[in-house]
Structure 1
C-alpha cells in the first residue's frame, strides 16, 4: 500500500523521542480518496430518500423515514451502510498522520489541536448560521414545528462529528497500543464493545459508550490495513474474511441478538457495525488493484480532489439544507407527492439536484474553513491545558444534544462553545522550508493525510 514503515513504540502523547530525520512527503493515497468520496456521495443520496416531512390537516408537521419503511431496504443497507468504511479509511490516514508528526517531534496535544481545528471550524460556522437564521425565522412568524424540523436536521450530522472526533483524538494512545500488539489492541476494544452490548439491557444509557469503543475498534482495523504489506493478505484470504464476516453477521441477527436493520444498529452503535467494518475493510483491500486504476483517471482525480477538500462542509451542511428546503416547501403550494408513492420517488433526483445547487454557494462561502489553519513558523504552540479545555468545551453541547436532543437554544450555545474552542486552539505553526520546527511539514501536503 506504500505506507510508512512501522517505527519503534513511542510514548502515546509526549512525542519525546530521539532525533529522527524528517520523513519524505507521502504520496496521495488515491484509493482512500475515492473510498471517502464514495461514502460521502452515498450518504447524501441516501438522505434524500429518507427525509420526508408531512403537513397534516390540523397544521402539525411530522417526519417519516420513507426509505426505512421499504421491505427491500433492510438487506440493501447491509451493503450500503458505509459508516464503518469511513472510519476504516480514517484509521489508515490518521495513523500515517500521527507517525509523521511524531517523527518531527510533535506531540499528541498538537495532533489533537490540528484534528479539532480541522473539524470544528466548519461546524462552528454551521451552528452559528443556523441559530441566527432560525431565530430570525421565529421572529418573522415561521411555524415553530417547521423550525424544529430544520433544527433536527442539524442534529444528525453532529453525532458523526462527536464519534469521529472521539476516535481521532484517541489515535496517539491507540497507535501506541497498536505498535506494541496490534491484534491485542483490537481484541481489547472488541471486548469492550461486547461488554457494553451485554450490559445495555439493564442500563440503556451505557449503550452510548460504544460511540467511543465501537468506532475506535473500527478505526483500529484501519491501523492494521495501514501496516499490511503490499498484496497481503492474499485475495483468497480476503474473500474468506468477507464471507465469514457476513455469515457471522447473519448469525447474530438471525438469532435475534441484534436487529437486522443496520440503521437501527447505528444509533447507538453495536457489534454489528464492527463485523461489517471487517468485511468492508477486507473488500477495500481486495479491490485496491482495481480501484487504483480507476482513481488514477484524470477526471476522477479532479472530481474526487475537489470534493475531498470540502468533504466536511458537504457532510455537515447537506442535511440541514435538505431539512430547510423540505420544511419551507411545506409552506408553499408546490406539489408534494405522498411519501413512498411513485411521484415521490420520481421527485428524488430533483431533490438531489436542489441540494447540490444549495451547496454550491455554501461551499464557496464556508468551504475555506476546512483549509489547514496554519500560522508562521515562529508561532507559539498552544499549551496542553488549552487543548484539553477545547476538547471539553466541544463535547459539552454535543453530549447534551445526543442525550436530550438538539434545540434552538442549544444551537446557539453550541456555536458559542465551538467558537471558544477555536479561539483556545489558535492556529498551527508550520515548519519552515528545510527546517524541523512546527508540527506540520511544509506544504504541499495531501488532504487525506493531514495534518
Structure 2
C-alpha cells in the first residue's frame, strides 16, 4: 500500500487525485467480507451417500425463503463498486507521479496473486499427500472444488482492475457514455448466450467492468450535491427493473444462478447498491470514525485477501474430513443442522487464525507502484497471460488436482516475472531495512 500523498493541484480539465483513504469504503468491504464468510458456512453441505459417494448441497440456496433474501445480501457487486472507487483514485495518484498503466498492472498483480500463489501451492501439496495416504478421491475433489470458488472472484476482480487505466480514460472523456457502452455489451452478450453458451463468460469482463464503472461515477460525484431523492429513485428504479426482467422470465430470480456466469441482473443490483452506499454515507462516516471500528476494520483489512481466499477451502477441508469420522452430522436443512452453523463458523475462524499468522504477511509486503522495480513490458504482459490461462481453464472445465498444481506454478512464475520490492535506501548511520509499515486499510489498493 502506498503512503498517502499530499493533495495536488489539478490542471485545467483534470481531476485532482484523491489523497486519502476512504474509511466508508473500508467499512463497506469489511461488512461484505464478513457476510460472505458467514454465508458460505450456511451453503457448503457435503453429503455421504450409502453407496459411498460424496456430493455437495448448497443448503441455503434450496430454501424457499432464500431467493428474495439474496437480492439484499448478494454483495459481490458492492465489492466491485468499492474497487472502482479506490482503483480510480489509486490510478490517478500513480499517473500524477508519472506512472504508467504497466506499472499499475504490476502492482495490482503482485498485490492479488501473491497470497493466491501460496494458497494454491499449499493446497496442491496437502491434497496430493492426502491422496498418497489413501484419502478417498471424492473427498479430495470436494476440497479442490472448494478452492475453485474464491478463485473466480480473483480472476474477475483482476480482469476489471487491470482495465482501470483504459476505462478511466474513457470515463474522463465521457463518463455516462462509457457506462452505457459497457451496459450495451452486457445486454448483447446476454441476448446471445442461449445460442452461444460460451459467449456468456465474456460478461465476466464486461459485467464487472460496468459495475466497477459505477464506482468511477461515485468517486467523481459531488457528494453534497446529490439529492437523497435522486439516490432513492435509483434504488427503486433498479429494483423495479430487476423485478420486471425476472418476473417476465428473461432472467432467473435466483441471484446465485445469475452470478455464474454473471448477467445484467448484477449490474442492476450494483446500481442499487452504489446508490445505497452513497445515501448511507453520512451514517457510515460516523460509524467508521469510531476508534474501535477503525481498529477492527484496519486489523481485518491487512488480512482481507487471505481471509477471502482461504476461508472456503478450509471450510471444505473441515467438512470433507468430518465425513471420514463418526462425528455427528445432522442432515442438511434440519433444525440440528442450522443450530450447528455457529459451531462451523467458529471452526473456520479457528482454522483461519494460524493461516493468517503464517500467510497473512504476504499482504503486508509493499506492492505500491512507487516502491516497485519497473519491469519490462514483456514481463508484465507475460505475467498476465500465465495467471489467466489456468484460471480460464478452471472456469470452463472445472478445477482439478492437476490444474491446482499447474495454477500454483503459473502464479509463482508470475510473481517472479513481476519482480520484488526493493529494500529502503540506507538510513543515516549505514542501516537499512524494509519499507515503512503501511497504514491499516481494508482496501486492496496500493
| Shorter-chain TM band | over 0.9
Q: Secondary structure at the match of 1:231?
A: helix
Moved over 6 A (4+): 2-10, 375-379, 430-433
Match of 2:251 among 258, 267, 273: 258
8 Å CA contact retained: 1:375, 1:429: no
Match of 1:73 among 66, 69, 74: 66
Aligned match of 2:342: 349
Aligned match of 2:331: 338
Change in 2 beyond 3 A, CA 1:418/1:309: same
Structure-2 separation of matches of 1:163 and 1:209: 11
Give 1:198 deviation, angstroms: 0.3
Give 1:446 deviation, angstroms: 6.2
Deviations along 1:146-173, one digit per CA (max 9) or x if unpaired, are: 0000000000011001000000000000
Aligned match of 1:15: none
Structure-2 separation of matches of 1:363 and 1:378: 24
Give 1:449 deviation, angstroms: 6.9
8 Å CA contact retained: 2:113, 2:411: yes
Give 1:231 deviation, angstroms: 1.8
List alignment gaps of at least 5 residues for structure 1.
Answer: 11-19, 434-440
Structure-2 separation of matches of 1:191 and 1:375: 34
Q: Secondary structure at the match of 2:56?
A: strand
Aligned match of 2:360: 367
Aligned match of 1:268: 261
Give 1:251 deviation, angstroms: 0.4
Aligned match of 1:13: none
Aligned match of 2:52: 59
The answer as to 2:404 corresponding to 1:411 is yes
List alignment gaps of at least 5 residues for structure 2.
Answer: 1-5, 427-434
Aligned match of 2:103: 110
Give 1:429 deviation, angstroms: 5.8
The answer as to 2:230 corresponding to 1:248 is no
Match of 2:186 among 168, 193, 204: 193
Aligned residues: CA RMSD: 2.4
Change in 2 beyond 3 A, CA 1:432/1:272: farther
Deviations along 1:95-119, one digit per CA (max 9) or x if unpaired, are: 0000000000000000000000000
Structure-1 separation of matches of 2:72 and 2:10: 32
Match of 1:94 among 87, 94, 110: 87
Deviations along 1:316-341, one digit per CA (max 9) or x if unpaired, are: 00000000000000000100000000
Structure-1 separation of matches of 2:279 and 2:10: 22
Give 1:58 deviation, angstroms: 1.1
8 Å CA contact retained: 1:381, 1:429: no
Give 1:432 deviation, angstroms: 7.7
Q: Secondary structure at the match of 1:332?
A: coil
8 Å CA contact retained: 2:383, 2:418: yes
Aligned match of 2:165: 172
Q: Secondary structure at the match of 1:54?
A: strand
Aligned match of 1:31: 24
Change in 2 beyond 3 A, CA 1:152/1:369: same
Give 1:371 deviation, angstroms: 1.8
Deviations along 1:241-283, one digit per CA (max 9) or x if unpaired, are: 1011100000000011000000000000000000000000000
Give 1:195 deviation, angstroms: 0.4
The answer as to 2:285 corresponding to 1:292 is yes
8 Å CA contact retained: 1:49, 1:66: yes
Match of 2:121 among 128, 134, 159: 128
Structure-1 separation of matches of 2:7 and 2:332: 47
Q: Secondary structure at the match of 2:280?
A: helix
Match of 2:378 among 381, 385, 400: 385
Change in 2 beyond 3 A, CA 1:280/1:432: farther
Give 1:9 deviation, angstroms: 7.6
8 Å CA contact retained: 1:432, 1:442: no
Structure-2 separation of matches of 1:222 and 1:36: 13
1:139-178 matched pairs, under 5 angstroms: 139-178=132-171
8 Å CA contact retained: 1:397, 1:410: yes
The answer as to 2:441 corresponding to 1:450 is no
The number of residues matched between the two structures is 432
8 Å CA contact retained: 2:152, 2:395: yes
Give 1:427 deviation, angstroms: 2.2
Give 1:375 deviation, angstroms: 9.8
1:297-336 matched pairs, under 5 angstroms: 297-336=290-329
Deviations along 1:393-422, one digit per CA (max 9) or x if unpaired, are: 000000000001000000100000000000
Structure-2 separation of matches of 1:446 and 1:178: 29
- Could you tell which deviates more after superposition, 379-388 or 329-338? 379-388
Aligned match of 1:438: none
Change in 2 beyond 3 A, CA 1:8/1:406: farther
Give 1:386 deviation, angstroms: 0.4
